[in-house]
Amino acid sequence: MAEFISLYSGSSGNCSVIRCGQRYLLVDMGKGVRTTAAALKALELPISGCGGIFVTHEHSDHVKGLSTFLKKYPLPVYGSAETLDMLDANGIVPASCSLCSVGAREEDLAGFGVQAFPTSHDVPCVGYRIHTPDGKTMSIATDLGTLTPAVHEALSGCDLVALESNYDLHMLRTGPYPYYLRARIESKRGHLSNDECSAKLLELVQEGCKKFALCHLSQDNNTPGLALQTVFSTLGAAGVVPDKDCVVQTQRRNEVSPPLEF
């Protein structure tokens, strides 16, 4: 049995677990060591079972807790060459930790098959497609302004997809953000809206995927209810019945979300 578990997800910090048996991987670490370690302890996941931390990109809500955590727990760190260079140059990864570049070809890393794929953001950024030791497949993609062919290929054929549903367009455009920030978020190098996420989920459901985690919801420009309502409306219009034909779960901002088996 494989599980996807979000420890916390949103603009204030992101960290996820992909677990299979006694082994697991972490994706990102955007909050402090106490928060992350407490979440792992609550899930009864010892650090000894972690095969490494996979970093998507350099923004603080994805790496803020990394330096302190690694000083205490010197796990290997994986990511794109550009992101690893930045982490190394800024002293975010201690010398005691190994840095391992992940590319577009699947590699056996800590017992999992992992490949990276580029996502469209305003700094070098990747998502990960992961094959678990028991033969299941999942992909995670956050911080992307558009759904490129490379992203679609990485999400296709998965048992579970964790995808960004960052903002509601009406909330963003009528909210307090200045124009330049709204324009950045809406751009092809910004974030994915509820509508864009929902359209992609419908495609994936029609291709056979049944489990979805909605990630990285904005605190100011979205709500879990709006994100789910948009997905359910899109799926329902195509005759797809949520909770019967598929499972869609929003991920909590400041606490561990219920595990999603896949």
pLDDT above 90 covers a percentage of the chain that reads 99
Q: What is the mean pLDDT of residues 190-195?
A: 98
Rounded CA separation 26/17 (Å): 5
Residue 15 pLDDT: 98
Q: Which residue has the tokens 């034909």?
A: 245
Rounded CA separation 6/23 (Å): 16
Q: The sheet that has 50-54: what strands, in order across it?
A: 99-101, 77-79, 50-54, 23-27, 15-20, 2-8, 260-261
Q: Indicate the pLDDT class of residue 188, thresholds 50, 70 and 90.
A: very high
Q: Indicate the pLDDT class of residue 240, thresholds 50, 70 and 90.
A: very high
pLDDT digits (tens, 9 = 90+) for 97-144: 999 999 999 999 999 999 999 999 999 999 999 999 999 999 999 999
Q: Model pTM? A: 0.97
- Nearest alpha carbon to residue 26 among 130, 101, 124, 155: 130
Q: What is the mean pLDDT of residues 155-182?
A: 98
Residue 198 pLDDT: 98
Q: What is the mean pLDDT of residues 166-175?
A: 98
